[in-house]
A = this chain, B = another copy of it.
């Protein structure tokens, strides 16, 4: 990351913290809901509750964007919607391609949340020739051979990878070579990309594993018992029938 120089102090300071950027879409969603209900203004407290954060954090976040509120009153909903949209780059439309039209890719293609923000699915691409031409979410699936052409013709800079893990790096390389500079990766694999290309990943199984970690801890607190039994056991908890785990009878966890 190229740190320029000292601060550009004015209302448009060039460094919004990553953590803040990651929350802006959350605020935007909450604001959009308020806007649809024609709520004219909102306090940091109310908006924070709607977005699921605390109000100090929200105010700090907004302070990076500028002073868009009014003391004693709150924030103008419409104005904030616009400012955040602009900051996120959603006032323009972003064509995206989805590569890998399996179950997940198809689900993504059908996902309404893309279009409702500035995103437009420019094409669906799959390596299976049998898929080519088949309509998914109203778009004909195109073959991988056409990938470069599609990207170039549509000026696509954001790509979504929903292929199996084995194909992801190869697809990624082609996307990058074709000019893509932002990638959302659903394949459970680490992608390597040149500098200047952003990758964000969504890994469904990782999220579950994190939940399992905390779940296990909860279970352990209830029955502070055998935790480290080298051979067999896991924390015990009531369940019904033993489901077979890797080594025999593994209890499921039920809060009683």
Contacts and interface: CB of A to CB of B under 8 A. Distances in A.
Interface of A: 12, 21-22, 24-26, 28-30, 50-52, 87-96, 102-104, 106-108, 110-111, 113-114, 116-120, 151-158, 160, 178-184, 188, 190, 192, 196, 198, 200, 202-218, 227-228, 233-243, 245-247, 250-255
A245 to B, nearest CB: 4
Nearest to A255: B179
Contact of A111 (B93, B95, B104, B114): B104
A36 B89 CA distance: 43
12 contacts: A88-B212, A88-B213, A89-B212, A89-B213, A93-B250, A117-B209, A152-B236, A157-B237, A181-B237, A181-B255, A198-B214, A202-B202
A153 B215 contact: no
Given A91-B245, A111-B103, A155-B236, A209 B25 contact: yes
A169 B44 CA distance: 23
Nearest to A232: B91
A52 B200 CA distance: 12
A215 B116 contact: no
Given A113-B205, A116-B205, A235-B152, A103 B107 contact: yes
A67 to B, nearest CB: 15
Given A88-B216, A92-B250, A157-B237, 17 more contacts: A12-B227, A21-B210, A21-B213, A92-B245, A95-B243, A111-B204, A114-B205, A119-B205, A119-B212, A152-B236, A155-B241, A155-B252, A156-B236, A158-B212, A158-B215, A184-B211, A196-B233
Contacts of A88: 209, 212-213, 216
A151 B182 contact: no
Contact of A245 (B28, B93, B152, B243): B93
Contacts of A203: 25, 113
A253 B26 contact: no
Nearest to A157: B253
A190 B27 CA distance: 11
